[in-house]
Amino acid sequence: MIRPMTPEDLDQVMEIEKRSYTSGWARATYEKSLASPSCRYLVEEEENRICGYAGIYLAPEEAELFTIACDPKYRRKGIASRLMDALLHILKDENIRAFFLEVRSSNEPAKSLYKKYGFTQTGIRKQYYRDPEEDALLMTLEL
């Protein structure tokens, strides 16, 4: 079941964050952005367990994908696709025209997911990521 993320979800979200990213966000970052009217976060929950989450930032006519991650135990089960579908529904309701994201240049599963949804590479940010240092690909989906 996909639903909005709540502060009560953060313990489980932070567990997934640690297992998914070498240098993820701090809990305080999630707490602050959850309170922002410009941010939307979703979780997929199965049997009272958070399996994945995603977050976006909304601006007039544009949105940016902040984060999307799935618990390693639940990967390759369509969770990221269901989260993307739900995010795109939000974007449609908000009359968003362009959806942006950054992705590690080596993250083939994520790039494949984004290409499936029609994102195209629109730029590169050199040495954007740390631990390990790596370029970010900028991708855009026109809606």
Q: How far is CA 65 from the centre of its chain?
A: 5
Domain count, the chain: 1
Average pLDDT of span 30-35? 94
CATH code for position 59: 3.40.630.30
**Count of positions (residues) in the chain:** 143
Scanning 1-143, the segments in alpha helix (DSSP H) are: 10-20, 27-34, 79-93, 108-116
Residue 58 confidence (pLDDT): 97
Share of the chain above pLDDT 90, in %: 84
Active site residues: 102, 114
What integer pLDDT is reported at residue 129 of this predicted model?
85
Residue 87: name the closest of 127, 133, 119 by CA: 119
User: What are the C-alpha distances in Å from 20 to residues 6, 15, 119, 121, 142?
Assistant: 20, 9, 22, 23, 28
Say what the pLDDT of residue 26 is.
87
pLDDT tens digit string along 46-88? 989 999 999 999 999 999 999 999 999 998 899 999 999 999 9
Question: Above 80 in pLDDT, residue 29?
Answer: yes
pLDDT digits (tens, 9 = 90+) for 89-106: 999 999 999 999 999 999
Between β-strands 62-70 and 98-104, what pairing exists: parallel, antiparallel or unpaired? parallel
Domain containing residue 31: 2-142
